[in-house]
C-alpha cells in the first residue's frame, strides 16, 4: 500500500473526475426527473403546477378541491419515484455482489466504466420519453438498464476499493471523506443549476447535459484512469461465477473474535445510515414542493445544493479536525447526531429560512459513512477490499431501497394528517439504532493498528494476538511499462 504524507494531484485525478461527472449527472437527474414526473402528473390531473414561475403552486390560496388534487399528484409522484428506484436498485445489488470479487482479480476499471455507461443509456431512454411523449412508466426501463450496469452501488464499490488499493492506511478515512466530498460537490453543482435550467429551458436541455456528463465519465475512465490492481493469476474469465459471489461474504467469515463483531456492527450502522441519507432524497423534493413551502424549481435546486455543500465540506472538516483528537468511533457518533438534528429540524420547518437552516444543524452529518467505511477497511486484508466493499455497497443499496420504499410509502399517508414532515422525524428516530450500536464496538485499537494481511499461509495465526506495529517493507519493484498505478512516496 502506498505511503506518503499527503496526496499528489496525480492521485486525486484518478477516480475523482469520474465520480464527479457521474455524481453531477446522477444528482441532476434526481430533481429534473422528479419535477418532470410531477409536471406530467399535474398536467394529466389538471393541478396548477408552474415549473417556470417563481412559485411552484398557489400555497395557502388552494381551495379544498385543489388541495385534494395536490395530494393525489404528490402520492402518484411518490410511487412512480419508488418504482424507478426499485428497477435501478434491485438489479444493481445482484450485479455488485458478483463484481466485488471479480475486480479483486481483474482490476477496478471495469467497475468504473460499466455504471457510467449504464447511466448514459438511462439518459437516452428519458430523452425518448420526453421527445416522444411516452408514458412516464417507461422511465422504469431506463432505471432497469442503469441497474443491470451496476448503478451507484458499483461505482462506489470501485472507488472505495481503488482508494484502499492506492492510499496509506492511516489516511484512508480522509481520502474516503474526499470521495464523499466529490459526490457532494458534484451534487451541489448539479442541483444548484438544475432549477435554473428547468425554469429557463424546460426539462429536455438538462437531460442533454446529464447525457454529456455520463459520456465524459465513460471516456475518462477508459483513457485516463490507471489500473490500481494487477490481474490475478487465477482464472478470471467469468463475472457471474459462484466463486465471485462467495468471496463477497467470505470476508466476514475470515474475521474472527472482536474483528468479526466489529465488522458486523459497522456494516449494520452503515446500512442504517444509508436508509436515512439516501432513502430520504425523493421525499425531500416532494416536501419542498408541497404547500405551504411551494418552492420553485430554482429554489429547490438552491436548497439541495446548499445541503450537499454543507454536508460535504462539513464531513471532510469533521474527519480532518475531529479525527486529529478523537477516535473514529466518536467521530462517527458526532456525525450521526448531527444528521439526526438535520432531519428533525427539517421535519418541523414551516418557511424558507428554517428549511435552509437545517443543513447547518447537520453540518457534520457527511462524515458518518466515510468514517464507518474506513474502519471496516482497516479490519480486512488488502486482497479482500473489493469483496468487502461489494458487500457493503450492496447492503447500502438494499437499505437505500428499503428507506425509499418506507419513506415514499409513509409520506402520502402523512399528507392525510397534514404532517408532511413526519417522515424526517421517523428517519431521525431510526438513526438512534446505529448511534447506540457504535457503543458495541470492541478492541477499538484495531482501527489505529496496521491491518494484518490474511492469506492461505497465515490462517492458522488469525486467532493469535495482534503483532506489534512494524513498518511496511521498503518498496516493491514495478516495471516502467506496468499498467498499475505507481505508488507515491
Single residue among 180, 197, 226 that ends a domain in this structure:
226
Q: Residues 414, 273: one domain?
A: yes
pLDDT at 465: 42
pLDDT at 27 over 50: yes
Question: Do 15 and 109 form a contact (C-beta atoms < 8 A)?
Answer: no
pLDDT at 215: 96
Residue 460 belongs to some domain of the structure = no
Q: Residues 220, 281: one domain?
A: no
Question: Do 273 and 32 form a contact (C-beta atoms < 8 A)?
Answer: no
Q: What is the pTM of this model?
A: 0.72
Q: Residues 217, 355: one domain?
A: no
Q: Residues 213, 254: one domain?
A: no
Q: Residues 287, 182: one domain?
A: no
Q: Residues 334, 413: one domain?
A: yes
SS (H, E, C) 434-474: HHHHHHHCCCHHHHCCCCCCCCHHHHHHCCCCCCCCCCCCC
Lowest-confidence region among 83-87, 394-398, 473-477: 473-477
CA distance 201 to 198: 5
pLDDT exceeding 90 applies to what percent of the chain? Answer: 37
Residue 477 belongs to some domain of the structure = no
CA distance 100 to 245: 8
Residue 473 belongs to some domain of the structure = no
- Per-residue pLDDT of 197-215, as tens digits, reads 888 888 999 999 999 999 9
The three three-digit cell numbers of residue 73, written as one number? 399528484
* CA-based R_g, the chain, Å: 23
Number of H helices, E strands in the chain: 18, 0
CA distance 25 to 33: 11
Question: Do 272 and 430 form a contact (C-beta atoms < 8 A)?
Answer: yes
The values of phi and psi at residue 484, to 5°, are -80, 140
Lowest-confidence region among 12-26, 168-182, 432-446: 168-182
Lowest-confidence region among 56-70, 404-418, 428-442: 56-70
The values of phi and psi at residue 203, to 5°, are -100, -20
Residue 231 belongs to some domain of the structure = no
Residues forming beta bridges with residue 227, ordered by sequence position: 484
- Per-residue pLDDT of 143-176, as tens digits, reads 999 999 999 889 988 888 888 888 877 778 788 8
Q: Residues 161, 301: one domain?
A: no
pLDDT at 469: 40
Single residue among 226, 260, 288 that ends a domain in this structure:
226
Q: Residues 183, 329: one domain?
A: no
CA distance 184 to 20: 9
Residue 104 belongs to some domain of the structure = yes
Give the highest mean pLDDT range of 48-52, 176-180, 256-260, 401-405. 401-405
Q: Residues 59, 93: one domain?
A: yes
pLDDT at 55 over 80: no
Structural domain containing residue 294: 247-450
Q: Is the peptide bond before 189 cis (omega within 30 degrees of 0)?
A: no
How are the residues of the chain apportioned to helix, strand and coil, as percentages rounded to the nearest 5? 75, 0, 25
Q: Residues 189, 272: one domain?
A: no
Number of residues in the chain: 489
Give the highest mean pLDDT range of 65-79, 190-204, 316-330, 355-369. 355-369
- The domain total for the chain is 2
Residue 351 belongs to some domain of the structure = yes
pLDDT at 472 over 50: no
The residue among 64 and 316 whose pLDDT is bigger is 316
Residue 280 belongs to some domain of the structure = yes
The residue among 198 and 452 whose pLDDT is bigger is 198
Q: Write the CATH number for 282.
A: 1.20.1250.20
How far the first Cα of the chain sits from its last, in Å, is: 11
pLDDT at 113: 94
The residue among 266 and 12 whose pLDDT is bigger is 266
| Region 361-389 average pLDDT | 87
| Region 397-424 average pLDDT | 90
- Per-residue pLDDT of 272-320, as tens digits, reads 999 988 888 878 988 988 878 888 878 888 898 899 889 888 988 998 8
Question: Do 305 and 359 form a contact (C-beta atoms < 8 A)?
Answer: no
Q: Residues 417, 289: one domain?
A: yes
The three three-digit cell numbers of residue 463, written as one number? 486467532
Residue 6 belongs to some domain of the structure = no
pLDDT at 119: 96
Q: Residues 216, 351: one domain?
A: no
Q: Is the peptide bond before 326 cis (omega within 30 degrees of 0)?
A: no
CA distance 53 to 75: 23
Residues forming beta bridges with residue 484, ordered by sequence position: 227
Amino acid at each position: 500500500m502506498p505511503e506518503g504524507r499527503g496526496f499528489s494531484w496525480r492521485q486525486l485525478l484518478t477516480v475523482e473526475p469520474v465520480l464527479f461527472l457521474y455524481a453531477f449527472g446522477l444528482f441532476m437527474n434526481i430533481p429534473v426527473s422528479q419535477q418532470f414526473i410531477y409536471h406530467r402528473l399535474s398536467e394529466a390531473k389538471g393541478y396548477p403546477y408552474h415549473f417556470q414561475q417563481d412559485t411552484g403552486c398557489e400555497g395557502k390560496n388552494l381551495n379544498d378541491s385543489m388541495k385534494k388534487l395536490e395530494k393525489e399528484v404528490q402520492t402518484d409522484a411518490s410511487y412512480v419515484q419508488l418504482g424507478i428506484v426499485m428497477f435501478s436498485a434491485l438489479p444493481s445489488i445482484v450485479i455488485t455482489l458478483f463484481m466485488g470479487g471479480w475486480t479483486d482479480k481483474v482490476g477496478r476499471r471495469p467497475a468504473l466504466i460499466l455504471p457510467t455507461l449504464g447511466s448514459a443509456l438511462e439518459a437516452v431512454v428519458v430523452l425518448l420519453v420526453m421527445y416522444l411523449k411516452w408514458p412516464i412508466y417507461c422511465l422504469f426501463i431506463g432505471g432497469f438498464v442503469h441497474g443491470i450496469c451496476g448503478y451507484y452501488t458499483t461505482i462506489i464499490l470501485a472507488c472505495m476499493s481503488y482508494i484502499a488499493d492506492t492510499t496509506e492506511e492511516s489516511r484512508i478515512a480522509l481520502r474516503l471523506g474526499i470521495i464523499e466530498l466529490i459526490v457532494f460537490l458534484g451534487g451541489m453543482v448539479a442541483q444548484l443549476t438544475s432549477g435554473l435550467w428547468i425554469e429557463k429551458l424546460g426539462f429536455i436541455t438538462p437531460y442533454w447535459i446529464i447525457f454529456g456528463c455520463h459520456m465524459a465519465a465513460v471516456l475518462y475512465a477508459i483513457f485516463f484512469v490507471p489500473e490500481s490492481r494487477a490481474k490475478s493469476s487465477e482464472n478470471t474469465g467469468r463475472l457471474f461465477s459462484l466463486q465471485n459471489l462467495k468471496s463477497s461474504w467470505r470476508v466476514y467469515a475470515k474475521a474472527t473474535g472482536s474483528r468479526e463483531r466489529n465488522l458486523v456492527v459497522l456494516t449494520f450502522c452503515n446500512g442504517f445510515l444509508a436508509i436515512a441519507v439516501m432513502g430520504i432524497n425523493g421525499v425531500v423534493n416532494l416536501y419542498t414542493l408541497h404547500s405551504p413551502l411551494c418552492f420553485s424549481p430554482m429554489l429547490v435546486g438552491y436548497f439541495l445544493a446548499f445541503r450537499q455543500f454543507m454536508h460535504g465540506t462539513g464531513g471532510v472538516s469533521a474527519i480532518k479536525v475531529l479525527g486529529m483528537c478523537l477516535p473514529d468511533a466518536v467521530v462517527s457518533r458526532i456525525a450521526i447526531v448531527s444528521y439526526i438534528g438535520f432531519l428533525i429540524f427539517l421535519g418541523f420547518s414551516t418557511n424558507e429560512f428554517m428549511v435552509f437552516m437545517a443543513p447547518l444543524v447537520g453540518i457534520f452529518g457527511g462524515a458518518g459513512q466515510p468514517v464507518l467505511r474506513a474502519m471496516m477497511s482497516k479490519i480486512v486484508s488488502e486482497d479482500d477490499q473489493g469483496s468487502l466493499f461489494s458487500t457493503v455497497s450492496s447492503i447500502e443499496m438494499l437499505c437505500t431501497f428499503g428507506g425509499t420504499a418506507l419513506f415514499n410509502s409513509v409520506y402520502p399517508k402523512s399528507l392525510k394528517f397534514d404532517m408532511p414532515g413526519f417522515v424526517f422525524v421517523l428517519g431521525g428516530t431510526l438513526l438512534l439504532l446505529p448511534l447506540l450500536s457504535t457503543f458495541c464496538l470492541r478492541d477499538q485499537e484495531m482501527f489505529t493498528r496496521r491491518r494484518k494481511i490474511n492469506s492461505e499461509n497465515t490462517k492458522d495465526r488469525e486467532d493469535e494476538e495482534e503483532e506489534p506495529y512494524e513498518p511496511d517493507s521498503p518498496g516493491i519493484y514495478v516495471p516502467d511499462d506496468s499498467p498499475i498505478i505507481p505508488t507515491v512516496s
